[in-house]
Amino acid sequence: VKYLRTDFKLNQAGLVWVDPGSFLPNVNLDSTARFSRYNIFMKINGPVSEMDLQLTSDPPLTQNTIVRMLTLQRESAGSNEVTGDDMANLMTVGLQMTVLGDVEMFVKQTLGLDQFRIYTGKTRSGIGFESVYDRNKELTADEKNQYNVLVSKYLNDNFMLGYTTSFDAVDRSIFGQYDISKHMNVTYSRSYDMSRDPKDWYGLEYKISF
């Protein structure tokens, strides 16, 4: 099931025709997706004409935050503010939905990718586990006008490998994430730019649910 440009894996689904003679069934659907460090859970219940859709996550986020994160296709947890970076990405989202949607789906299916998306800003800003310094640093004029491509793939249930590049191939980054357990993962990325001096970033994250 695809929702907000995100593929959800069906865990359980059913259609039941409750009202005799009615063409529209009741839907009962339970599905999961992985976005960056989050497991997203989507449940749908009710008649097709008035379905009740619920989104939850682990670590927990509000439904509005999850919708915003999936719509922008970037991690935006911890704040309900819409930044300039978010506004730029909203324009990219519109472009993808109207022009690149079919291309995005074709590339993902053909190459068997978990993620294939276009976004603006720094190449690292789309990875989802950049440092607090990276997140709070203002974008330069060139970065605001820079378009990037991200591809990633889970090689198994625990290990994800990805690559980002700007359209001009000047800035690029490789990154990976390994889930040690449900609550702990390690991340790594190496970024390149015009200086040709790679920058390495390591991270260890522990998730606490409360």
Q: What confidence score (pLDDT) does residue 56 get?
A: 94
Q: What confidence score (pLDDT) does residue 112 get?
A: 85
The pTM of the full predicted model, rounded to 2 decimals, is 0.58
Q: What confidence score (pLDDT) does residue 125 get?
A: 67
Nearest one of 69, 94, 100, 95 to 82, comparing CA atoms = 69
Q: CA-to-CA distance for 122 and 157, rounded, in angstroms?
A: 28
Residue ranges of the chain with pLDDT lower than 50? 77-78, 98
The answer on 206 and 121 residing in a single domain is yes
Q: What confidence score (pLDDT) does residue 31 get?
A: 93
Cα→Cα distances 92→60, 82, 89, 120, 124, Å = 27, 15, 5, 7, 17
Print the domain residue range for 46.
1-81
The answer on 180 and 96 residing in a single domain is yes
The answer on 58 and 124 residing in a single domain is no
Q: CA-to-CA distance for 181 and 200, rounded, in angstroms?
A: 24
Q: What confidence score (pLDDT) does residue 69 get?
A: 81
